[in-house]
Structure 1
Amino acid sequence: MHEILGRKRKMNNPIDICCAYLYIISRYGYPPPVEDTVSHIREMAGLGFSSIELEGIGKKNIEYLFKHKNTIKEALEQYGCKVPILCLVLPQLGADLDAAGEAECLELFEMGCETARFFGAEGVLDNGPLLPLQYPANMPVMRHYSGSEIDSLRPLSASRWERYWEELADRYRSVCAIAARYGLDYHLHPCEGSLTPSTDSFLFFAEAVGAPNLMFNLDTANQFLIRENLPLSVIRLAHRVKYIHISDNTGQQAGHLPPGSGNINWKIFFSVLREVGFNGRLAIDVGGAETQIEDLDAAYLETAQWLRQQWSSDLSVKL
């Protein structure tokens, strides 16, 4: 394992640099074959990371991780890795569900939480609830929901909105309670096509849900693309952010670029992180089909080194 160390600072824990699952997605597509999870662990460990994301994308993958959790945990131990955040992708959670559909979603979510706890995770993560549109039955699970196909879908009926919002908040209250029973935070990732793509929308939703373990997974590229002021978001969300996805963006189109390849003002961003006393985790989230990167391995390793330089010169940063 590689270890990047700076000078010591009087803090309880060093900032943890995590390899986001986008590294694997960039190599093998979305979703990557869950049957190769052990190989994915070996690849991220071989790159030098001891802190990694894993992901259960949809019902089949969540069930696979649960069924094979012993084998996967053995691989984590073999390669000296930990999984601080397990991603559980269940877009149906935000749908206009009947009682049976909701029960199935909550059962899958709890299965994912049990798996996450077994791996020693601190939290689980999913995209924010999708916009309540009339999706086709064969709609694939996607990283971002945008484009002409989404724009052509009708929303739920206007008369249904208020009841839907109340049911949605109640469902996510239940989800957060399940996560809390396993000692987990529940992080919502901002993406196109969700109800919580911005600081304002997340805070509005978090107030409706009213769960202390509901967190915001600040994604610097996604937030910059929608013209969020990242330092101000850090200030407003300080008590709701424990996990940040780090990548750059030009502000012109979707992309998860290596830092320094876009237009984010990182100096101010990290200055504000230190100001609010952030001591959570940073995940390198570079790549994806929308981002052309010639050498993905180099991009991750160079970003890890760059993160060390950006953080306080007297703070230990562990890879």
Structure 2
Amino acid sequence: MSANKGFETKVPENEGMDSGYMSGLVSELASGPLSEPISEVGSDSGKRISVSVEEEQLDSGLDLQISEQLSNLSFKDVTPTTQPLLVDLEEHKPSIIPQLDRLFMQDDDGDTQLHIASVHGCQKSVSTLIKVCPQRAWMDVSNDYGHTALHLAVLSGHDVVTRMLVLAGASLDVRDVSGRTPLHLAVEARDERCIKSLVIPSPNTPREKMVRILNMRDYTGQTCVHYAARAGRFDIIHLLVNCGADILAGEGLAGWTALHMAARAGDAALARAILDKYGAAAAARDFAGRSPRRLAARTAAAPAFAAHRRDDTDTDSDSEDDYDSESDEQESLFEKLVQLNNPINVV
């Protein structure tokens, strides 16, 4: 399942619709054998999984505290509460294990039932699949495009399903075939609700771990801050930096920071906002030793730098003499690299 498939993935959910071709198995598991207490099951490694299953009537929600309205989410201190992991099977039931294997079996595109339910935003099916999933790692299976269920929930803009998966322990640091994490995709789509669903603290992603995820790079060396700068969204940059992202991080091709990218794009509003909030960014240098002010000299962003107090360490001259053909050639090469899917094949 991927955005590359030629059909609409945002299918509205109703009472008579489920997530996929084997959803009958989900219903059986929700109402049948798993409603009984179970005691031990063997695994392929010979270890035994021991987590108890409480008798309860499954409903459309997931008891992982996702009923809050995401529009009211804030970035104030959140005290994580202890969340149950996944349903643990305590007793071997031959009739259950094969059905779980079928539920989490990959199809020709590498998708499982959890991928399909997530891309369609089927909250009931996602809830049930999370509850019967015997191992957390099964939620992080990647399809042929490198997308996990969490990637697909973000790509489809399903913020509630995104939060359900995060609270259930789905990994935020899995990269797709382009090196993008779910957070990269959320920022690229400018989806603030999905971004909040991913970055708000949870028991599985304490702040230290979140800082590492925020500063992960795709295969061109860009972090989520660079994605936000390309989109011209200072509000998203500010949100990410407040959560631990590095505003001074340089991307991997030319060493450009978010301010370099705003300057080169001639985005005066973004450059001014970054300068006003993070003044130290003005002194950053790319791999060629150029400051953001120098890249902005021939663009519409130049007035933003003129209005900003020059840093003592910024010794670049604004004169035309500072620019030579070699510098222009380097900038042109970088722009080609950014636009190509394969940065090695440059013509």
Same fold (TM over 0.5): no
Considering only CA atoms, is the larger Rg found in Structure 1 or Structure 2? Answer: 2
TM-score (norm 2): 0.27
Greater percentage in strand: 1
Higher relative contact order (CA 8 A, sep 6+): 1
TM-score (norm 1): 0.28
